[in-house]
Structures are given as C-alpha cells and as structure tokens.
Amino acid sequence: MNPDQIVTAWAAAWSGTDPAALGALFTPNATYTDQGIGITMTGREQISDWKARTDAKIENVRVTVIRASHCGDRLTVEGVYAGHIKGAPTPFAVPLVTLLDLENGEIARDQDFYSLNAVFAQSGLPADWYPSAA
C-alpha cells in the first residue's frame, strides 16, 4: 500500500469493529505503543487484541484524520481520537498525533500520542480512574 492508503486503512480499522483489520496492517513483529497509557504491543495478534480490548471498554471508537504527511518511511498523522468510555457520563474527542514507520508497505512501528487526562476530563471521569475488570 502507498502512504495515503495506509493512513486511510489505519483510521478505518480503528473506526471499524474488526480487530483483525487493524492487526493486518502491521508487519509480523511490529510494535504499537499507546503513549497515553504507556503500553506497547508487539506483533499482529497483540495489536488486534489491543483493538478488541479498546472496543470492549470504549463505545463508538473512531479516529478522524485531519492531515497526514510522510517523509521517506515515516508517516505523521494528525487527527481526533473519539469514543464513549462505557459507564462514563459523556463521550470524548481529543487531539491525536500518530507516528507510523513503514516497512515494505506495512506498518512496522506505531506510536499514538494523546492526553489521557483530556480523555478522562471530557468523559466526566476522575484523573485516576481505572476500568473495572468487568
């Protein structure tokens, strides 16, 4: 895929309901780091699982791309990350910047940057909120 197709597919996969669609965009040993939460997933299976776990806790997850640019094998995506944390009083929509490093038309490294505090504040949750195991 070319860079524009990758950005479109990545945003569609996050906004869709099939976790495997997200994982399929990555190389077998890719890393995906959610800087807002501070965790890293490795490989397609863990990345797909991350999408499934996100969907289990957040309704109507969507990523809207505002602009994307690329230089060599690095894509920079500016957008909005939105959804409604289950049980929270209100939905959220926060700025997002994502860096995607490509390898042979697939994503080899993904780093998402957004404010977790802004997500909680917009959702009406305390800054130290943590989802229940249920």
| Long-range contacts of the stretch 90-97 (C-beta < 8 A, 24+) | 90/122, 90/123, 90/124, 91/60, 91/122, 91/123, 92/118, 92/119, 92/122, 92/123, 93/122, 94/118, 94/119, 94/122, 96/63
Q: What is the pLDDT of residues 46-59, one digit of tens each?
A: 999 999 999 999 99
Q: Which domains does the chain have, with CATH numbers?
A: 3-123 (3.10.450.50)
pLDDT on residue 134: 47
Give pTM, 2 decimals: 0.92
Mean residue pLDDT across the chain: 94
Express each pLDDT in 26-37 by its tens digit: 999 999 999 999
